Amino acid sequence: MSGDAAPVIMFIASLYVFGVVLIYALARAWEQALSPRDRMKIERARPSVNAGRDQINELSGRGNRDNFRA
């Protein structure tokens, strides 16, 4: 009889572990979504992808790409 109960116990234990991991992941995502200050710090610390191109265009005197004629 104990041999029949082992798969059921393992299934219930795996559901319990899955639930705990899911709740942890949702709580972490919720915490990150509610803290815009951290996101702003990251955006300020990381330069924009276009920032380098804009600085090069300003230094070269080209200006906007639409105004540039080859």
The pLDDT of residue 36 is 74
**pLDDT score of 4 more than 80:** yes
20-29 LR contacts (CB < 8 Å, sep 24+): none
The pLDDT of residue 66 is 55
Q: Which residue has the tokens 């105004």?
A: 67
Q: Length of the chain in residues, anyone? A: 70
Chain segment 6-49, per-residue pLDDT in tens: 999 999 999 999 999 999 999 999 998 888 766 666 667 766 65
The pLDDT of residue 17 is 98
CA–CA gap between residue 19 and residue 11 (Å, rounded) = 12
What is the pTM assigned to this prediction?
A: 0.47
CA–CA gap between residue 9 and residue 2 (Å, rounded) = 10
pLDDT, greater one: 65 or 41: 41
Token duo for residue 67? 């105004």
